[in-house]
Chain A
């Protein structure tokens, strides 16, 4: 493959990021690995002593693990929906951020389902899902949906990276031998012939169309796990779209945070600009408003209907000694604050948009907690248990450690991937620049033609 000078110049900027690691980077890596092993230890304790070491009991059968599961599947929407839709709509500013979005998708779709496994009482029997799988169960739907989604998003990321693999393979700058070998295998002989280019473009288009309904389905199925049960606070018809909207909201938030972090760490200021933050900020506002609307609609109807069991859940959410302040944060602050920060021009800058995203992401995690736990704490029958842990759920150190470990894994995998492929699609970026300069030329030519016409008409009139 011929590498033109512009591409080479862009690539040269990214090679050091792949190859070298700063002291800070190494320290970060060590901490992440330590966090990972803390999680391994917590898992070992849980496996040897049984689920008794968690805060889950007969009433609250699902705890932090399921909350994290929904959360990670939620943020995976960054790549699937945002990048898929931006690609389909041919949004011109998308190029520097889509790779990040797609990596978020793949990494979080790997970590999310791990939490399901942590929640399963008999990890040694997980293969029963295949041996005895029943299609009637929403869990089976979930298994099918998530595996399809994960495969889809890996392929989507891969297709979007093939050109860069080829570029790195043919790059004259020397890189480690194992790297070269991997790039050679992964580029699958791609050499940018017009035919290859066309096939690749078509495949990427096709997949970005497929990935959108797939992503929507994954979170709908996830919502149905709760919606299909006869539980107050869960048994709701709007649960699927509600989950989808909440997921895209948190996904966009995580994407903005990733942009902010990588822009700082890898010094990508010239690629990821204020425009990207602003535009994604607008998307965030729109989604935040939608999420707020769904939340309002969900709780208004169940409050107005005032069925006894629904009220049990609502009382918990609105009781200041129970969940009120968390609910206030998740349903009010988490919606209004990002909207205010992004819509008021005075508050809007790169850092504040990143902060708004952080609030949104954290609020959405809390919201998932408030969807799962209060409902399980409000069974249809009275709870006469004398043991406080059977009435009120409080997560144990095992659950917190595994939660932190999962977040650490997210950073770790993201970090390792960013050391292997450039965090910004190099080929595409270089192309964009060409496109931009071309547009400039066209503009200038049109302007000159216009001038000529004006001059001509002047002479005729004069």
Chain B
């Protein structure tokens, strides 16, 4: 039951946890239990409770959405120590290892509004974001949720590398056309797919102008023991045959207070991820004011003219750190030729 994630949680959620617990109490969803006194009696107990403490934050997070199903409440209960030293009882289903339910996943996290800023001046086609994403989501090598393009606007302008996750549009053409509501826009700005509801009509793929969506053409081959989590629309893992997949903006990581793996695996800090409402974005090594960054660097949104209002902003590829040719270092000749052809680069 104890999951490696949980160890990190104690640290990451120290502050947030207190607030969450307070709010949870106010909402009357959690009863302050009498087991306080028992806590800390033995070392083993202490470890167990503190490990469970992280889970409290998750519970809090799901409580904030105000969506806990009555049916779920007869599940197994687990005692959890909050960071302010009290012990509460929560359902096992809300521990960190267990992803949120399909219903909870439809509503978004708290009053967040997740955004991403991609600094094109720092990208050199290292492709670590692609690999990190594939590893995290158990994607086979031929499925990429982040794609890397070599862009060139016209023959006279410089080519630049262009990483593109799902843009999580605020006016998403894919969500509009879904006949069963399998893909949906949440209050925190994230566009998710419920792979248990998707019928695989591929209309969303035809409607997405950004080629963000990929189809599971065959049964994804994942050994069950490799998976450390159950399926939830929030972790999109494992993919399901005959349904659509795409970058999910990692809401499961947000719930754990962590960054998506594209952000952490990028060697150049290209990706900044954060909450628009908090006005902060971070690439893991530096945290910046979101609005100020957009203003200072004259950020733009990709194909703004389509009216899709993406949540992903790009910082223009000015004063690039690397020559675009650096990006050709680790890829095959064949691939280089294709990139060059698409970008109309002549030798």
Asked if A137 contacts B203 (CB within 8 A), the reply is yes
Does B5 sit at the interface, judged by CB under 8 A? no
Does A189 sit at the interface, judged by CB under 8 A? no
Asked if B203 contacts A139 (CB within 8 A), the reply is yes
Contact with A61, one of B198, B202, B209, B342 (Cβ below 8 angstroms): B202
Asked if B201 contacts A380 (CB within 8 A), the reply is no
Evaluate whether A119 and B339 lie within 8 angstroms (CB atoms) in the complex, with A134-B180, A137-B178, A138-B177 already known. Answer: no
Interface majority SS on A: helix, strand, loop or mixed? loop
The CA of A128 and the CA of B178, in the complex, are separated in Å by 11
Q: Interface residues of A toward B: which range?
A: 35 or more
Minimum CB–CB distance for A275 against chain B, Å = 45
Asked if A136 contacts B176 (CB within 8 A), the reply is yes
Work out how many contacts link A and B, with CB atoms closer than 8 A: 141
Asked if B199 contacts A121 (CB within 8 A), the reply is yes
Asked if A121 contacts B173 (CB within 8 A), the reply is no
Which of B81-89, B93-101, B146-154, B261-269 lies on the face that meets chain A? B146-154
Report B-chain residues with C-beta under 8 Å of the C-beta of A344. Answer: none
Minimum CB–CB distance for B332 against chain A, Å = 8
Among B147, B176, B177, the one with the most A-chain Cβ atoms within 10 Å of its Cβ is B177
Asked if B335 contacts A61 (CB within 8 A), the reply is no
Does B70 sit at the interface, judged by CB under 8 A? no
Asked if A59 contacts B211 (CB within 8 A), the reply is yes
Minimum CB–CB distance for A258 against chain B, Å = 32
Asked if B179 contacts A384 (CB within 8 A), the reply is no
Q: Which residue of B lies closest to A372 (CB)?
A: B206
Report A-chain residues with C-beta under 8 Å of the C-beta of B176. Answer: 136-137, 228
CB-CB contacts below 8 Å: A26-65 with B: 49-52, 56-59, 61-62
Minimum CB–CB distance for A119 against chain B, Å = 7
Contact with B215, one of A51, A128, A133, A383 (Cβ below 8 angstroms): A51
Evaluate whether A229 and B206 lie within 8 angstroms (CB atoms) in the complex, with A49-B218, A50-B241 already known. Answer: yes
The CA of A379 and the CA of B303, in the complex, are separated in Å by 13
The CA of A230 and the CA of B213, in the complex, are separated in Å by 15
Asked if A129 contacts B180 (CB within 8 A), the reply is yes
The CA of A121 and the CA of B242, in the complex, are separated in Å by 4
Asked if A120 contacts B200 (CB within 8 A), the reply is yes
Asked if B219 contacts A128 (CB within 8 A), the reply is no
Asked if B198 contacts A229 (CB within 8 A), the reply is no
Report B-chain residues with C-beta under 8 Å of the C-beta of A352. Answer: none
Evaluate whether A133 and B202 lie within 8 angstroms (CB atoms) in the complex, with A57-B217, A61-B215, A382-B150 already known. Answer: no
What are 14 residue pairs bridging A and B, where the CB atoms are less than 8 Å apart in the complex? A57-B217, A61-B205, A120-B200, A121-B198, A121-B199, A121-B200, A121-B201, A125-B200, A230-B173, A231-B209, A381-B149, A381-B210, A381-B211, A385-B338
Please give me the 3 A-B residue pairs with the lowest Cβ-Cβ distance, nearest first.
A121-B200, A121-B242, A139-B179
